[in-house]
C-alpha cells in the first residue's frame, strides 16, 4: 500500500491517534455490545494515556473488553450511553461518584449523532416525552402530541470499526456490526476508521459503500480481533428449521 | 391456574397479523417468536440494525458479527436486511413497525409504562424502550400481575419513573388480558387465565378497568 503525503492510511492505531487525541476531549466509539467495536483504536487510547474523556457510545464495554479497558484506567470522566448493564467496573465507579453518566434513549442517541453529523442543531421527538428524559428540555405540543427538543451531538474524535475499507476511506460494514458506526463516522471532527481488511481502490463496489470516504480522515488496518461473543445461543440440529429463536 | 411465561408469550403471539413488522423486547417478549403461527409472515426487527431475524445458529455456526438486541447470537433469513442504528430507530420512531411486545415493572390505568428504572438501584439504562413506545403503532405489555409482596403492578399511577406516558394498548399478565380500543379509552378485562375468576383479578388489581 503506497503512502503519499495526503494519504489517509496510518501504519497503526497509535500513530493515527497520537497528534489528535487530547485530555478532556469528546470521543465517539462505535459498536453495540461486543459487535463492531473499534478494539485497536480503543487500545491505542489506553496506551496514549489521555484522561478526562467524555465518551459517546451505546454501551460501556465489558470488564476487560472495549471501553471497559479505559474505565479501568479512569481515563473516562463521563459516558453518554443508552445501556450500560454489562460492566461491573462501570457500576462501581458510577456508584462511587467517580464517573458521570448521561443516559439517552437509544434512538435519541443515534439521531443526535446523525443530526450532529448532518449539521442539524436540534430536533423535536416524541421519545422521552412525559419521562425523566424530558426534564429541563424545551417541549412543544403539535396536534395533541408532545415533543421534546434534543440537540445534535458531535465529537472531537470518532472511532469506528468497519469490515472493509479502501485508501479513500470508503467503508463497508458486516451484518449487525454496522450499528452506531455509520452515524458516528459523520459526527467526528476527525474520524478514524479501523478495518479488518484494507483494500486498494476499485475493490469495493461504489453502489455498496455504507460510509463514503469524505467522512473518514484516517484509516488503519486492524489486527488481532477478539471475535468475542457476549451471549452464545444455539439450537440443536434435531430442532431443525422450526427451532426456537429464544 | 395462572399463566406461565410461555403461556403469556403464546397469548401475545395471537396479536400478530400477516405482514406485520414486529419488535420484541428482551426477556419474556423474546419468547413470543416461538409461538407465531407458521403460516403467517411476520418480520422481526432487531433494533441494533436488522430486519428479518432468524433462529439461533447451529453449534459452530455462530457469527460474532450477527447478534440481536439482547446480544444473543442469531441467524439471517433469505430476506434479511442490515442497517445502522440511526436507520433502525428512524424505522421505529417513524411509525413503520406495527407492533412491539415489551416487559414491564408497572402499568398504570391510563396506559403509562414503567420498565427501566428503580430509584436507589443501579440503573442500566433505557436502551431502546423509550423509542419503541413512542414510535411503534401498537404496544403490548407482558408482566406478572402482582409484585412478590402481592401489590398490584397494574395501578392507578406508576410509582416508578416512566418509560412512556399513555403508550400501552394491551396488557397481558399471568392472570388476565386487558385491552383498550384507543389511547383515550379505558382498559377492559377481556380474558382470564384458566381457573382465575374476574373477582380474583379485581381483588388483586388497584387500577380502574372495565369488565
Model confidence band, residue A91 (pLDDT cutoffs 50, 70, 90): confident
pLDDT at position B167: 98
Element (H, E) at A94: helix A88-95
Q: Please indicate if any CB of chain A lies within 8 Å of the CB of B124.
A: yes
Give the pLDDT confidence of B118-153 residue by residue, as tens digits.
Answer: 988 888 999 999 999 999 999 999 999 999 999 999
Q: Is 70 exceeded by the pLDDT of residue A239?
A: no
Are the C-beta atoms of A193 and A213 separated by less than 8 Å?
A: no
- Residue A62 in grid coordinates: 465489558
Q: In Å, how far are A173, B57, B63, B86 from B60, measured between CA atoms?
A: 23, 8, 9, 31
For residue A91, give how far its alpha carbon lies from the nearest alpha carbon of chain B (Å): 7
Instruction: Over range A27-43, report the average pLDDT.
Output: 97
User: B-chain residues within 8 Å CB-CB of A107?
Assistant: 47, 85, 88-89, 92-93, 128, 130-131, 135
User: A-chain residues within 8 Å CB-CB of B66?
Assistant: 175-176
For residue A244, give how far its alpha carbon lies from the nearest alpha carbon of chain B (Å): 5
Catalytic residue among B6, B15, B17, B47: B47
Report the residue of B127, B132, B137, B162 to disrupt the A interface, i.e. the one with the largest count of A CBs within 10 Å. B127
Contact call for B58 and A131, based on CB within 8 A: no
- Residue B50 in grid coordinates: 436488522
Q: Whole-angstrom Cα distance, residue B24 to residue A8? A: 41
Are the C-beta atoms of B48 and B67 separated by less than 8 Å?
A: yes
The shortest CB-CB distance from A243 to any of B55, B72, B122 is to B55
Contact call for B67 and A230, based on CB within 8 A: yes
Q: Whole-angstrom Cα distance, residue B103 to residue B126? A: 12
Give the pLDDT confidence of A37-81 residue by residue, as tens digits.
Answer: 999 999 999 999 999 999 999 999 998 899 999 999 999 999 999
Contact call for A230 and B56, based on CB within 8 A: no
Q: Which of residues 91-120 of B touch A (CB under 8 A)?
A: 92-93, 112, 117
For residue A79, give how far its alpha carbon lies from the nearest alpha carbon of chain B (Å): 12
The pTM of this model reads 0.96
Instruction: Over range A95-111, report the average pLDDT.
Output: 95
Pairing mode of beta strands B176-179, B188-192: antiparallel
Q: Is 70 exceeded by the pLDDT of residue B68?
A: yes
The shortest CB-CB distance from B86 to any of A36, A114, A127 is to A114
| B144 is annotated as an active-site residue | no
Q: Residues, chain A, total?
A: 246
Chain center to CA of A64: 17
CA torsion through residues B160, B166, B167, B172, sign: positive
Q: Name the residue with higher pLDDT: A94 or A184.
A: A184
Amino acid at each position: 500500500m503506497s503512502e503519499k503525503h495526503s494519504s489517509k492510511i496510518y501504519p497503526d492505531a497509535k500513530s493515527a491517534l497520537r497528534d489528535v487525541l487530547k485530555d478532556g476531549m469528546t470521543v465517539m466509539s462505535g459498536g453495540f455490545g461486543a459487535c463492531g467495536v473499534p478494539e485497536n483504536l480503543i487500545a491505542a487510547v489506553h496506551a496514549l494515556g489521555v484522561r478526562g474523556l467524555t465518551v459517546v457510545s451505546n454501551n460501556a464495554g465489558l470488564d476487560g473488553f472495549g471501553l471497559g479497558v479505559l474505565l479501568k484506567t479512569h481515563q473516562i470522566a463521563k459516558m453518554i450511553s443508552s445501556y450500560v448493564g454489562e460492566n461491573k467496573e462501570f457500576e462501581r465507579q458510577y456508584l462511587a461518584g467517580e464517573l458521570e453518566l448521561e443516559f439517552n434513549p437509544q434512538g435519541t442517541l443515534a439521531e443526535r449523532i446523525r443530526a450532529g453529523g448532518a449539521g442539524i442543531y436540534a430536533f423535536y421527538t416524541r421519545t422521552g416525552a412525559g419521562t425523566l428524559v424530558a426534564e429541563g428540555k424545551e417541549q412543544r405540543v403539535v396536534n395533541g402530541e408532545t415533543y421534546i427538543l434534543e440537540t445534535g451531538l458531535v465529537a472531537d474524535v470518532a472511532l469506528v470499526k468497519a469490515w472493509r475499507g479502501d485508501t479513500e476511506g470508503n467503508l463497508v460494514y458486516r451484518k449487525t456490526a454496522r450499528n452506531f458506526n455509520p452515524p458516528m463516522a459523520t459526527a467526528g471532527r476527525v474520524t478514524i476508521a479501523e478495518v479488518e481488511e484494507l483494500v486498494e481502490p476499485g475493490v469495493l463496489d461504489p453502489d455498496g459503500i455504507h460510509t463514503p470516504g469524505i467522512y473518514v480522515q484516517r484509516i488503519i488496518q486492524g489486527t488481532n480481533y477478539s471475535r468475542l461473543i457476549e451471549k452464545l445461543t444455539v439450537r440443536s440440529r434435531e430442532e431443525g428449521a422450526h427451532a426456537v429463536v429464544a | 391456574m395462572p399463566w406461565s411465561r410461555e403461556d403469556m408469550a403464546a397469548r401475545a403471539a395471537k396479536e400478530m397479523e400477516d405482514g406485520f413488522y414486529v419488535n420484541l423486547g428482551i426477556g419474556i417478549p423474546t419468547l413470543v417468536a416461538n409461538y407465531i403461527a407458521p403460516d403467517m409472515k411476520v418480520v422481526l426487527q432487531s433494533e441494533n440494525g436488522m430486519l428479518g431475524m432468524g433462529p439461533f445458529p447451529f453449534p459452530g455456526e455462530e457469527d460474532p458479527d450477527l447478534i440481536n438486541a439482547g446480544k444473543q447470537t442469531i441467524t439471517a433469513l433469505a430476506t434479511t436486511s442490515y442497517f445502522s442504528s440511526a436507520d433502525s430507530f428512524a424505522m421505529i420512531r417513524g411509525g413503520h413497525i406495527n407492533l412491539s411486545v415489551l416487559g414491564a415493572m408497572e402499568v398504570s390505568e391510563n396506559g403509562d409504562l414503567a420498565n427501566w428504572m428503580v430509584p436507589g438501584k443501579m440503573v442500566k439504562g433505557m436502551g431502546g424502550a423509550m423509542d419503541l413506545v413512542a414510535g411503534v403503532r401498537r404496544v403490548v405489555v407482558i408482566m406478572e400481575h402482582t409484585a412478590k409482596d402481592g401489590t398490584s403492578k397494574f395501578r392507578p399511577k406508576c410509582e416508578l419513573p416512566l418509560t412512556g406516558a399513555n403508550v400501552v394498548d394491551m396488557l397481558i399478565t399471568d392472570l388476565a388480558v386487558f385491552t383498550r380500543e384507543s389511547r383515550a379509552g379505558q382498559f377492559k378485562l377481556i380474558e382470564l387465565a384458566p381457573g382465575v375468576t374476574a373477582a380474583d383479578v379485581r381483588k388483586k388489581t388497584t387500577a380502574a378497568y372495565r369488565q
